[in-house]
Structure 1
Amino acid sequence: MIERMEFLNITGPKDDIDRIIETYISKYDFQLENALSELKNVKELHAFNESNPYKDILARSQELKEYFKDTGLHTNRHMSIEEADKITRSISDKVYSLSQKKSELESELAGYEEKLKNVHYFIGLDYDTEKILHFKYVNFRFGSMPTEYYEKFMTFVYESIDTIFYKAREIDDKVWGVYFVPDAISEQIDAIYASMHFERFFLPDEYHGTPEYSSAKLQEKIKELQDNILNIDNKILSVLENSREDFLLANQVLYRFNKVFEVRKYAAATRDNRKDKKVFYIICGWLKKDDAEKLAKELENEPSTFCLAERNLSKISSTPPIKLKNNALFKPYEMFVEMYGLPNYKEFDPTILIALTYSVLFGFMFGDVGQGLVLLILGSIIAHKKKSRLAAIIARCGFFSTIFGFLFGSIFGFEDIIQPLWVRPAKAMTALPVIGNLNTVFVVTITLGMFIIILMMILSILTKLRFNEPGEALFDANGVAGLVFYASALITIILFMTGNHMPATIVLFIMFVLPLILIFLKEPLSAVLERKKVHLEGGVGMFILQGFFELFEVLLSYFSNSLSFVRVGAFAVSHAAMMEVVLMLSGVESGNINWIVVVLGNIFVMGMEGLIVGIQVLRLEYYELFSRFYTGDGREFKPYS
């Protein structure tokens, strides 16, 4: 069901707004609405434009809080916002000098790490880097080239030019090294290396000894800096730990007051045009009806604060937010409703409907005692430990799969252990007039689907009446006219298939022809019923032509929607057939059963077919059920707290 919502307007002296929010409003789930938007017809209102005094100090507090591994706090002690501000600033000042030193060391550390990265590429070079960097008559180029070009260069080019290439390392398909060339021919040799995709790397003039020696020294310096930074962190943590309870409590108070102050961006205030005129705030928004009544009762004790409930929702610009309320058995299925879209405030909550139909149809398509129990047990365990709604749905579907497993006489695919309480899906046949023999589960699922469609049409009619759309409720394909036609078709089919007499001609006319005429004339009849001007766009001829094709589409959709439920029976049959294949591969017929094949086959079927069945049932829910009566355009209830 949908929680009943109530819209409250709360007003009082502007100077008292923080206390009222902190003392009363913050205790409830209150979805705030912009008061200026809701009260746009009220003159002399303006927005609060004060800057948040808690924002900066809270940011400093949150930054320091990251040093704590455990931020849990259990205390009943009260702390004022002034005390929280003072404590936080005092601790922050103590930490500030240490943080400054830490920042300097981190900057220095980053520089040394960059140097280590640069020299890392040339560790294989067994020559003093400092001497190379000071050559005067021989040019040098540090850099890299792709491995494939290096091999071509060494094979076809290297011996024919005046250069020395010293390979240092090979990393990620690149050869790193340095080449030397006489200054007089450096431009020509540089061009040859460039054609080999050689990329220069400029090594800074600050290394001593071989790259390996420089690397070791840099690593020592980096380790020293890391130890110094860790030491500072420990000093900061020591300062914080000495005031742990005070700091964490102050953080909570600052966070709460920051949230309280942020409420002002939703509030409005009256203008202070005269010095003797008091300024009032106005806060408005949605609460659950029970919470709204409790809050209003509490505010009665505040002589300067007034709380008014708006009973006429048509005067409110915002639509009521949606909060679903279902018991624990059906609550996990709210996930499927949210995926499609929350219901409009005037609609029915389809959670219970989807819970029952989804579970039953899944069980029908996946009927097996053993596999159903596995889904039930595993789903329940995961749902309990991980609080997963999907796992809870799987557990419930497993329960219905177990029930249908008993009806079909199947346990882990074996059909000779228990007798079916109803039929074997792959073998049961029913003789029908004209059609001949047809699988029994196909007949049952189509009939079941038609009854479900009729139920959806009834819900559609009730929904249209709630939305005050009598024309749609009476003459739509999912309205009364469509219901009469479709229900008549179902009754006629049942009478014919069971060998009973058909209704008289006049009854058939009322049952079939009259509803189709009403559906054909839906637009003009709805306009007359709702006292609107009848307007046939394109003229009478175009209306008749368009209406004919729309009516044909309606009839086609009735037929296709009914046949959609054949898939329920088809999956029940295919499930039994797949398990027959698994048992055949395991050697059941020969009497020499390979239990590993049986187990793996069951796991495969449960995984693959379970996923497919779950998706197919959800498709039926959305396209054959929801599309008939449900809009799903509601907005989620998001309380500010």
Structure 2
Amino acid sequence: MAVERMELMTVAGPTDNIEEVLRSVVLLEKVHIESSIKKAGEGSPTLCMLEEGEGEMECDIRPYSEFEDFAELEKKMTIIKGYFGIEFHVDKKLITSECTYKRCRQELEWLYSKIEPLHKEVVDKEYRLAALLEFKDSIKYTGALDVTIEELEQMKYFDFRIGTLSKEKRLKLKESYDSITAAIFHIGSSEKEEVYLAVYPDEIEEDTDKVLKSLNFHDIQIPPEIKGNPGQAIAAIDETIAMLEGEIGSLKAELEGFREEYGEELLKAYNMLLVQKQIERMKRKMAFTENFFFLTGWVPRNDKALVLESLEKADERVVVVWSRGSKAQSQSLTRPPTKLRNNWFIKPFENLVKMYGVPSYDELDPTTFLGITYMLLFGAMFGDVGQGAVLFFTGLYLALKVEKFKAYGSILTRIGASSAVFGFMYGSIFGFEHVLPALLVRPIENINFVLVSSVVFGVILLVMSFGYNIVNSIKQRNMKDGLFGRNGVTGLIFYIVLLVMIYQVLTSADILNVTVGVAMAVVLIALMVVREPLSNIIMKKRPLYHESPSQYYIESGFDIFETLMSMASNTISFIRVGAFALNHAGLFMAFLTMASLMGSPAGSAIMIIIGNIVIIALEGLIVFIQGLRLEYYELFSKYFKGEGREFDPVKMSAE
């Protein structure tokens, strides 16, 4: 409904308790931090007096320079998190005065020193276990090998390799026997592979390796502890596997014990790290003397008492000074951020406003106007009970189940409901025009009424946008645009005069005398042309022109032409509302015609379903975009600049 009022908070306090003060600011999540270096220069007497009270004769104001790197600690925390298999989450309740960052860091370092060796040992043993299982699986079919591993390893002039080939490569191996200077023994078979023993002289090892690689020969690595023939090796492997599995189980049980005992402490350390990272970011925007710190930030006026209470609770020695947002802005200290305050029904439309820009602190929040008018525009262009209900329930699902699209799901529920309401007015349900009675009008049967009504509705919205701009200009003390500008009072009267005169021509009505109307238009155009010097004379500002008078009047002349074109195009542009309402009905009629040509009830039903899907997905998207276009180009261009910056309080964040 409005932009929240802000106050600029400046805090000075002793550095010996800075961590506690800044932690309270982070946990409050109510303070938008500003750079304090410039402000400290302007308010340095306060800090200097504090320093003199401590016996210091000189006051040296400086930025924060002792930066802390959290990369190594975050890496260790991520490693431990992976070992424990737990998920971190932000929880402010875990941050207590007893839990300091220094203590959490020490505990984390200790925990890492205990867990890392255990995990490394588990990985090593699991690697050995996997190698043994692979070897066992490979040699269990080598019953034909009547030789021990030791005998093969003790060969003086020969070397050997045991490996597998796919059954397809077996034939290729036979074809290559003549080119291989090695003895190849088939020693076993499995379902998919054949096991071979290759014995070859040492001096041709390289040539043999090339041939075997060309056959995709997969070597079986023999663990060093394996001895004897295949039968004896399998028995030894089984014994070693059992031993390794027992050792791995014991190590994992020990790790599980650490997880149960220190899992909560790890989560606490994670949250403390999030707080400390924000504290470090805050320090980089603060100013310091030898013994004191200086903090500047914006606070919503409604949260002022809560913030002050929290700061004094953290350290009763802090000095807090407040400046109202408008006063701070007029003194050029800093521009207040914008925090929008809207009820639950309108709040989702803040996302559409922010896509265009954030309202300035001294600018009206357009969210309510956009939200209401956008629902009306969408519903008028896409009026259908059934299709609107589909959009509503789709949006409801996204809002409740898909966190990433929650905001846009909420928008979808509202425009879907608007579509359903207009569907009752049009008497349309899933495209059918003769199932429900039309409470207002059937667009396809009243084309002229629909088109004219859409233009009239557009005129009403444009007049309201003039009003928004006038109020914004009053808030910003901008007489030039608010009183004499093309979107101000003069422009509004000029627009109404033009509308009345055009209406008289089209309907032969007698509302305003033509001579009087032309005279008013000429005077209003003249006021818009001289708006800058006229407003400067009234406000007693000099110089009268920000550029040479000749250049100013040339630009103003072209500006009047642009104003006329803009008023005409903005007004006519709203005819698209009626056009899309007609298009919505006409498009379904096309699918209905195709359904009648299908030749069977089932085919007709499928075509009607396809038609509704296409209309909801394709036309729904087009209408969504066209509604935004009307809001952004026809309305926002008259009253909304969006040059503000969003209120972004310091807070715990996982990002």
Letter in 1 for 2:328: L
Displacement of 1:487 in angstroms is 1.2
Q: Does the C-alpha gap of structure 1 residues 263 and 572 become closer, same or farther in structure 2, counting only changes over 3 Å?
A: same
Q: Do residues 282 (structure 1) and 294 (structure 2) align? A: yes
2:632 to 622, 626, 629: 622
Deviations 1:51-80 (A, max 9, x none): 559986676455424424266899989966
* 2:5 matched residue in structure 1: 4
Q: How does 1:136-215 map to 2 (within 5 A)?
A: none
What CA distance in whole angstroms lies between the structure 1 residues aligned with 2:246 and 2:645?
53
Answering whether residue 381 of structure 2 is matched by residue 365 of structure 1, we say yes
- Cα deviation, 1:351-400, whole Å, max 9, x if unaligned, reads 10111111001000011122222322332343233351212212111222
| Shift in CA distance, 488/73, structure 1 to aligned 2, threshold 3 Å | closer
Q: 2:463 aligns with which of 454, 457, 462?
A: 454
Q: Shift of the alpha carbon at 1:325?
A: 1.2
Shift of 1:572: 0.3
TM-aligned CA deviation for residue 95 of structure 1:
5.0
Matched, 1:534 2:554: no
Question: Any conservation in 2 of the 1:80–1:253 contact (CA below 8 Å)?
Answer: no
- Pick aligned residue for 1:492 from 501, 507, 521: 501
Distance 1:625 1:381 in 2: 31
Q: Kindly tell me: are residues 79 and 554 of structure 1, through their superposed partners in 2, closer, same or farther at Cα, counting changes over 3 Å?
A: closer
Q: Matches of 1:163 and 1:475 in 2, distance apart?
A: 98
Q: With structure 2 as the length reference, what TM-score do the two structures score? A: 0.73
Aligned to 1:264: 283
Q: Which moved more, 1:71-80 or 1:56-65?
A: 71-80
Q: 1:81·1:253 contact (CA, 8 Å) conserved in 2?
A: no
**CA separation of 1:90/1:260 partners in 2, compared to 1, >3 Å: closer, same or farther?**
closer
Q: For residue 320 of structure 1, what is the aligned residue in structure 2?
A: 336
Instruction: Mark the runs of 5 or more structure 1 residues left unpaired by the alignment.
Output: 115-130, 137-153, 155-161, 165-197, 209-217, 272-278, 430-438
Aligned-partner Cα distance in 2 for 1:32–1:225: 56
The 3-state SS of whatever aligns with 2:441 is: coil
CA contact (8 A) 1:267 1:282 kept: yes
User: What's the secondary structure of 1:6's corresponding residue?
Assistant: strand
Q: CA deviation at 1:482?
A: 1.7
Whether contact under 8 Å (1:36, 1:267) holds in the other structure is: yes
Cα separation, partners in 2 of 1:599 and 1:546, compared to 1, 3 Å: same
- Measure the CA separation in 2 of the matches of 1:551 and 1:262: 50
| 1:245-298, Cα deviation, whole Å (9 max, x unpaired) | 455445545654564465433332223xxxxxxx22222201111211333356
How far the C-alpha of 1:322 sits from its partner, in A, is 1.6
Q: Is the 8 A contact 1:11 1:306 kept in 2?
A: yes
Contact preservation (8 Å) 2:29, 2:650? no
Residue 392 of structure 2 corresponds to: 376
- The letter of the residue matching 1:313 is A
Shift of 1:107: 8.2
Pair 1:232–1:631, CA change in 2 (3 A): farther
1:609 aligns with 2:628: no
Identity in percent? 30
> Is the Cα–Cα contact under 8 Å of residues 490 and 528 in structure 2 kept in the other structure?
yes
1:344 aligns with 2:360: yes
Q: Report how far residue 484 of structure 1 moved.
A: 1.4
Q: 1:78 to 1:163 in 2, by over 3 A?
A: closer
The amino acid that maps onto 1:483 is L
Partner SS for 1:308: strand
Q: Give distance in 2, aligned partners of 1:496 and 1:617.
A: 30
Instruction: Write out per-residue CA displacement over residues 547-605 of structure 1, whole angstroms, 9 at most, x where no aligned residue.
Output: 44332222222211211111111100010101112222222999968333222321221
More helix by share: 2
Matched position secondary structure for 1:266: coil
Count the aligned residue pairs.
601
Q: Where do residues 34-433 of structure 1 align in structure 2 (5 Å cutoff)? A: 34-41=35-42, 42=44, 44-50=60-66, 52=68, 60-61=76-77, 63-66=79-82, 67-69=84-86, 81=98, 89=106, 92-93=109-110, 96=113, 98-100=115-117, 102-103=119-120, 232=251, 234-249=253-268, 251-253=270-272, 255-256=274-275, 259-260=278-279, 263-271=282-290, 279-297=291-309, 303-311=316-324, 312-314=327-329, 315=331, 317-386=333-402, 388-429=406-447
| Alpha carbons 2:8, 2:322 under 8 Å: kept | yes
- Does residue 478 of structure 2 align to residue 482 of structure 1? no
Shift of 1:81: 4.9
**Letter paired with 1:576:** A
- Please say if residues 26 and 275 of structure 2, whose CA atoms lie closer than 8 Å, have aligned partners that are also in contact: no
Partner of 1:579: 588
Could you give the per-residue CA deviations for residues 71-127 of structure 1, whole angstroms, max 9, x where no partner exists?
A: 68999899665788567646754652552364477589999999xxxxxxxxxxxxx
Q: 1:300/1:510 Cα in 2 relative to 1: closer, same or farther (>3 Å)?
A: farther
- 3-state secondary structure, aligned to 1:284: strand
Post-superposition shift, 1:516? 2.0
Residues 364 and 569 of structure 1 are in contact (CA less than 8 Å); yes or no, is this contact kept in structure 2?
yes
The CA RMSD measured in Å over matched residues stands at: 5.6
Which residue of the other structure, out of 500, 523, 531, is the alignment partner of 1:514?
523
* Cα-to-partner distance string for 1:146-204 (whole Å, 9 max, x where unaligned): xxxxxxxx9xxxxxxx999xxxxxxxxxxxxxxxxxxxxxxxxxxxxxxxxx9x99x99
Residues 471 and 591 from structure 1, CA distance in 2 versus in 1: closer, same or farther, beyond 3 angstroms?
same
1:16 Cα deviation after fit: 2.4
| Alpha carbons 1:496, 1:502 under 8 Å: kept | no
Given the superposition, is the C-alpha separation of residues 227 and 348 from structure 1 closer, same or farther in structure 2, using an over 3 Å criterion?
Answer: farther
Shift of 1:38: 2.5
Rounded Cα–Cα distance in structure 2 between residues aligned with 1:369 and 1:449: 24
| Cα distance in 2 between the residues matched to 1:606 and 1:500 | 43
Question: Counterpart of 1:309 in structure 2: which amino acid?
Answer: W
Deviation at 1:528, TM superposition (A): 3.9
TM-score, normalised relative to structure 1: 0.74
